Every structure is written in C-alpha cells, then in structure tokens.
Amino acid sequence: MTDDRPRQLARTPPMGWNSWNAFSCDVTEADIRAAADALVDTGLREAGYEYVVVDDCWMASETDSDGRLQPSADFPNGMAALADYVHDRDLKFGLYSSAGSHTCQGYPASLGRERLHAEQFAAWGVDYLKYDNCGDHAGREAVDRYAAMGEALASVDRDIVYSICEWGENAPWEWGRNVGGHLWRATDDLVAKWRANPDEFGLGIADVIDRMAAIDAAAAHGPGGWNDPDMLQIGNGPDSGQSEHEAVDVQRPLTKAERRSHFAFWCLLAAPLMIGADLTSLSTFDRELLTNERLLAIDQDSLGIQGTPDRRGDDAEVWSKRLRDGGAVAFHNRGDAEREISTHVSAVGVPAGADRYRVCDCWTGTEWETGGSLAMTVEPRDTAIVRVTPG
Ligand code: GAL
C-alpha cells in the first residue's frame, strides 16, 4: 500500500446505519441482516447510506487464548458471514471496539492488541471501525492509544474507515487526521431529546448544536476527516434501545420540527450521517426526511466545508455553509412562537457580489430569485434551509 491510501477514504461524510441508538446492547445478527435488507428496501441505500455498523456488544465476554475477539452467541454465523451478507447487498460492513481494556459495556477490547484485531477485522471483510474510549487506558494518552489503532489499520491490506469515538474530550479535531482517523466524535452521546437535563446522560439536539458552535473545530473538517456530532436520533424515542439502556428520561418522540432541525443541522455541518433508528419500522415522514436529496447534497458537497453560525445569541439563528456552486443558509427558531428570520447574502457564507441569486427552499423545492435579501418564516424549534446560487 501507499501512505496516502487511507486518505482516499471518506472524501465526503460517511453515511450509513449503526445499531446502538435503536438496539443498544441487545443487538443480534438478525437485527443487522434486517437493517441491511431495510436499507435496500426503503431506498436509503440508493440515497447514499452505505455502511452497516455493529456497535458495542457484538463480542463474546472472553477473547480466545491469543487475545482475538470472538463473536457472541447472538452472532451464531460469525462476522465474516455477516460481512458477506452485507456486501452481497452492495453495502459496507462496520464493527466496533475500544481503545482500552474493555468496551463501554464491559466486553474485551483492543488496547495493546491493535494489530491482532485489525488483522481480524480485515480478514472478516470489515470496511469501517468505530473505536470507543472505554476501559482501562493503561495510563496512555488518547492520542497515543488512537494512533496505535490507526497504524494497525493502515498496516492491513484492506481499506477501513477509522471512526474515532473519544467524545471530543481531548480536542480530537486537532490530531484525528494525524492518527489516521476519517471522523472523530466532537461531542458526548446524542440522546433522542431536544434538550437533555444537565444531570442526566448525554446531550440533546440543541445541546449538540450549541457545542458545535462553541468548539471552533470547523477548520479541521473536510474531505478525509470529519467532525462527528454523533449518530442521528430521527425515528427514535422513549422505547429506543439507547433511551432505555442509558435510562434517559425521554417523554416523547422528537416533533417533526425538531427532527427537521436535527437533520438540517447535521447536513449543514457536513456531518457523518449514521441513521440510528430501527429501519424495519421507519415512518414515511422519517424516510422522506432522511432521503431528502436537497439536504443530502448539502451534506455531501465536494468542498466538505462545515457550516458555521453567522448570528446567534437570541432566538433567531442564522447559519451558513459554503457550497461548490454557492451556499446553504439555515434559519433556526429557538423561541416559542413563529417568527420571520432575515439576513442578506453579504452576511453569510455565500459568494457575494452577484447581481441576482437563485434561492431554493430545501424542504419544499420552491424556487425564487433575490438581489441578496433572504427571509424565512420559521415555526418554533424548526429550521428553514435554502440553497443560494449566484446568477
Ligand atoms: C459510547 C459511545 C456510544 C456507543 C456506546 C456503546 O461511549 O459514545 O456511541 O458506542 O459507547 O457502549
């Protein structure tokens, strides 16, 4: 292999599905097969969702005598057969481990056995590794532990996307690329709520948006290396695996406005889009949201620029993202009443100086022209998002 081979991966933010938010530690081989089938049947694969990732709890509680990971009894046909099943559907297969002695749920993990495990992953046909931060760290710094797996993955004869899950604790946007990472979690776990209680597990959607505005990591973000605000909670609620497992006080599913804001912001941030819902019971609204071509084009724009806030601090927020042929502008209402939010192309991340701009509402597809002024009426907690193209 050549040294730059891993950099050819993840040129746009990875898209796929991960088992954790829906199934938590109860995940089985049958769930993964059903998710792969559902990605095909629902049209999500056609829309670009390609990775099927098994999160924590796939492994047996003991390694073999050489320290190799072994699948649990819930994966009776083993990981190579499951990878084949996923590959046969033109999808890619991902697994999970941790840069410590154990995973977050107490299963054996990879610290000190990186090469051995990377060789197992490659032999099984793994295309994506999510690498968590739990277990005993043997006194080693995060950069050192994550570099060890990065080197191991680079040494095997297979392209494996390396997803660093260090929760943003040691500013992974500053070193994620250098240790071979293709994406790195910038925040704590996202839960299926608009806001989390400060004393409970995880962060809500609005909490993560606030955190992404605060950390100033956009400069590190781009083709081959992405800030990750965590997996999507669209389609999840009180009964989802993560909500129950982490005892999150989720009283109700996210409203449609909250789900639109969640998806609009993840696309504006050019975030990795890992669906976290049970795909066998996805609603029509959620399927249409997740396959909105105008939103996905913003997320997957080839420049790979992360959207940033232009105006915050009151209940009317404006965020924007430069795109190859113009820009995307989001108008977000944090308040309790409908309101009009306005701005001008000269105040946001759209190339200025054109006489006319074409504007397209990404929810409705409605198009119009402007000399530069932009104004949208937005429901509480909702987000209007437009694509603005000069000329
Ligand atoms: C957390 C991680 C979650 C999930 C969980 C599994 O540390 O942030 O996304 O992977 O562990 O135990």
Q: Any idea what the CATH number is for the domain that residue 332 is in?
A: 2.60.40.1180
| Residue closest by Cα to atom 12 of ligand 1 | 104
Rounded (10°) angle between helices 78-88 and 114-124: 50
Could you tell me the distance, in angstroms and rounded to a whole number, from the CA of residue 132 to the centre of ligand 1? 7
Exposure of 274 by Cβ count < 10 A (0-12 exposed, 13-18 middle, 19+ buried)? Answer: buried
pLDDT, residue 4, reads 52
Pocket test for ligand 1, best of 26, 56, 58, 248 (most atoms within 8 A of CB): 56
Domain shared by 150 and 129, yes or no: yes
pLDDT, residue 1, reads 43
* Residue 58 within a domain: yes
* Residue 364 within a domain: yes
* Residue 8 within a domain: no
Cα distances from 353 to residues 85, 325, 344, 372, in angstroms, run 52, 14, 12, 9
Q: Which domain holds residue 33?
A: 15-300
* Residue 363 within a domain: yes
Of the three residues 248, 276, 300, the one that is the final residue of a domain is: 300
Question: Alpha helix locations (H) across the chain?
Answer: 20-23, 29-41, 44-47, 78-88, 114-124, 142-155, 205-215, 241-245, 256-268, 284-290, 293-299
The candidate with the shortest Cα–Cα distance to 370, out of 360, 384, 356, 381, is 356
Domain shared by 204 and 337, yes or no: no
Of the three residues 254, 274, 300, the one that is the final residue of a domain is: 300
Domain shared by 243 and 339, yes or no: no
The candidate with the shortest Cα–Cα distance to 99, out of 57, 128, 140, is 140
Domain shared by 282 and 318, yes or no: no
* Residue 25 within a domain: yes
Domain shared by 181 and 202, yes or no: yes
CATH number at residue 109: 3.20.20.70
Could you tell me the distance, in angstroms and rounded to a whole number, from the CA of residue 301 to the centre of ligand 1? 28
The string of pLDDT tens digits covering residues 222-273 is: 999 999 999 999 999 999 999 999 999 999 999 999 999 999 999 999 999 9
User: What whole-number distance in Å separates Cα of residue 188 and Cα of residue 208?
Assistant: 8
Is residue 24 within 8 Å of residue 244, measured between CB atoms?
yes
* Residue 4 within a domain: no
* Residue 3 within a domain: no
Domain shared by 296 and 351, yes or no: no
* Residue 9 within a domain: no
Could you tell me the distance, in angstroms and rounded to a whole number, from the CA of residue 149 to the centre of ligand 1? 18
Stretches in the chain below the pLDDT threshold 50: 1-2, 6
Is the shortest distance between the CB of 56 and ligand 1 below 6 Å? yes
Domain shared by 200 and 121, yes or no: yes
pLDDT, residue 8, reads 87
| Residue closest by Cα to atom 6 of ligand 1 | 56
Overall domain count for the chain: 2
Domain shared by 190 and 316, yes or no: no
Domain shared by 52 and 150, yes or no: yes
User: What whole-number distance in Å separates Cα of residue 74 and Cα of residue 146?
Assistant: 28
